[in-house]
Amino acid sequence: MPIFDSIEKALTVGGKSIPVDGVLSIGEHGDYPTNELGQKLHPRRRFFTEITDAFAKYGRVVPVFNDKHLGPQWKDAKWMYDRALKMKVPFMAGSSLPVGFRSHRIEVPMDSEIESAIGIGYDGLDIYGFHALDCYQSFVERRRNAEKGVKSVQFLQGPAVWKAVDDGVVAKDMLAAAYAIVRKPDAKGMRTDEDAALFLFEYTDGFRGAQFMLNTVNRTAVAVKIKGEKLLLATSFEERAEPRFPHFAYLLKAIETMIHTGRPAYPVERTLLAGGILDRALISRNREGKKLDTPELAIAYRPVEYPYAPQPDLLAIPEK
């Protein structure tokens, strides 16, 4: 694989045209500053700027995948999304986890009457908070008449988290179901976590989102309650250890599908919305937990059916 010293040279393979069929933009690894919100300022907008500048210069657009969330700051994420729309770039982004391995195969049919859903994540609020929100959104986008976006976001931490649970803001049985299914490094209960965090967000259709970030777990999980069903559905993500990191294979398959067909395998708007919720939650944290109105997150899109691991047809050529 040839290595070049600029994005333009990589896209042109050192020539005067764009002969490549697609672009993977992984603006993550490296020594980058962290802002006052705790966001590591990965150069994703800069990478996308140089990619699309090359498209414009050489008169050819090809599909682009952006690893993890856009931005990570909202203004940069929205700029990237708008530029992709304007230039008609087939565009995907997001976490590997929604299409990777799960501990339990649970079925949430499209257009389900989802009454509530609880997410659990772990580790850093910025990078792992996005993984958790992308997994969460991949379920709740399947509710009836979704998706039209989020109208408010709030961040809670420490005792305020457990007060919200005790006051019924978050259903205890839903939280227990998600916590029971997720891997825990030790036997400590969740309430021993003095730094527990909770993202609360309300969708424009009135559905209430809740994403916990806990130090007493080391996996991501989601629990879902469907109207009329007594059983709570719950699963955790990234469960397979061998071969190493196999969930990335299924993300690459989704990207490959986009490159073959010229159409995203699933909507980039899911990533845009999940990243926007995270950005606003971190701003709320910086403002001592103030609830923020978020009209800018009125992001409407139509979810699609896309399979997750394991898939027997991993190496199959996508249908045109």
What band does 30 get if pLDDT is binned at 50, 70 and 90?
Answer: confident
Q: What is the pLDDT averaged over residues 89-98?
A: 96
More confident residue, 1 or 270: 270
Q: Is 315 part of any domain?
A: no
The residue with tokens 């994420």 is 77
pLDDT score at 245: 66
Determine the Cα–Cα distance for residues 136 and 130; give it in Å rounded to an integer.
Answer: 10
pTM flag (> 0.85): yes
DSSP sequence for 57-117: HHT----EEEEBSS-SSHHHHHHHHHHHHHHT--EEEE-SGGGS-BSS-----TTB-EEEE
Q: Is 89 part of any domain?
A: no
Q: Is 186 part of any domain?
A: yes
Into how many domains does the chain fold?
1
Which residues constitute the domain of residue 193? 103-236
- Check: CB of residue 8 under 8 Å from CB of residue 54: yes
Q: Is 199 part of any domain?
A: yes
Q: Is 120 part of any domain?
A: yes
Determine the Cα–Cα distance for residues 168 and 66; give it in Å rounded to an integer.
Answer: 38
Q: How far is C-alpha 90 from the geometric centre of its chain's CA atoms? A: 18
pLDDT score at 238: 81
Average model confidence (pLDDT) for the chain?
93
Angle of helix 74-87 relative to helix 44-58, nearest 10 degrees, comes to 20
Determine the Cα–Cα distance for residues 300 and 297; give it in Å rounded to an integer.
Answer: 9
Determine the Cα–Cα distance for residues 131 and 93; give it in Å rounded to an integer.
Answer: 12
Model pLDDT for residues 217-261, shown as the tens digit of each residue: 999 999 999 999 999 999 999 866 566 667 788 899 999 999 999
Residue 187 scores a pLDDT above 80: no
Model pLDDT for residues 33-43, shown as the tens digit of each residue: 999 999 999 99
Q: Is 168 part of any domain?
A: yes
Q: Is 281 part of any domain?
A: no
Q: Is 121 part of any domain?
A: yes
